[in-house]
Amino acid sequence: MLSRVMQAAHDKRLDSRVDKMLEEGLIQELLDFHERHNKQRIQDGRPADYTKGIFQTLGFKEFHEYLMLTQEQRESENGKALLNNSIDNMKLGTRRYARRQNKMVKGRFLQHPTREVPLIYELDTTDISKWDENVKTKAIHIIESFLNDIPCNYEPLKPDIDEEKINKDGNSRNFCSVCERLILGDEAYQIHLRSFRHSKVLNMKKKKESKKTCEKK
């Protein structure tokens, strides 16, 4: 969805955002939160939990090893290196998360074969110095043209729908005789056939049939 130039500018801006968070005290905030929650869990014999609520956010997993160090260890060369590595991992995770968001928008609004969606317009935020020209003015015009039902001077993004997806029935009923399960939708059924669970049941049934054949002989 984003060109290479736009993606590079986006990545740079995301890295700067992380740097800004660090400047505003992110590390101390993580240390304080860790002190109040996960450290107590570990002292009680329970592992650090990053699977629920706020602990799923970027920052906790990436800094876990650093947070587990003592104050003396954090001030050592190894501790500083671990901190820098954690920061790099957070920046990488932030960029990946942003890419997933873009992919989700594209999948939901430009690649869905049956869903009714509004027109989607692309705004170029690459050059902040041209914000009013490339973003603000353009966005206002798009909104006003929609509200007043008048022609828009800008072309919306064109749908990018795979022909194969159009022909798939999302409401079809497919019975898997191997797993003895009813799967709704052609795509869901194809995913099921490629799944580990289906392969496991299939292999188990093949072994049973093979065993029966050997016993008869």
Count of domains in the chain? 3
Residues 181, 208: one domain? yes
Residues 131, 211: one domain? no
What CA–CA distances, in Å, run from 96 to 20, 64, 90?
Answer: 19, 19, 10
Residues 174, 149: one domain? no
Residue 157 contacts residue 120 (beta carbons within 8 Å):
yes
First to last CA, the chain: 61
Residues 33, 70: one domain? yes
Evaluate if residue 168 carries a pLDDT over 70. Answer: no
| Residue linked to tokens 């029935």 | 169
Range of the domain at 131: 114-160
The span from the CA of 188 to the CA of 183, in Å, is 7
Residues 74, 101: one domain? yes
Q: What is the pTM of this model?
A: 0.64
**pLDDT band (50, 70, 90) for residue 162:** low
The span from the CA of 56 to the CA of 93, in Å, is 12
Residues 32, 82: one domain? yes
Residues 75, 156: one domain? no
pLDDT of residue 78: 94
Residues 105, 120: one domain? no
**CATH number for the domain harbouring residue 11:** 1.10.287.890
Residues 103, 122: one domain? no
pLDDT of residue 104: 86
Residues 101, 183: one domain? no
Residue 186 contacts residue 166 (beta carbons within 8 Å):
no
Report the sign of the C-alpha dihedral through residues 182, 183, 189, 191, in that order. negative
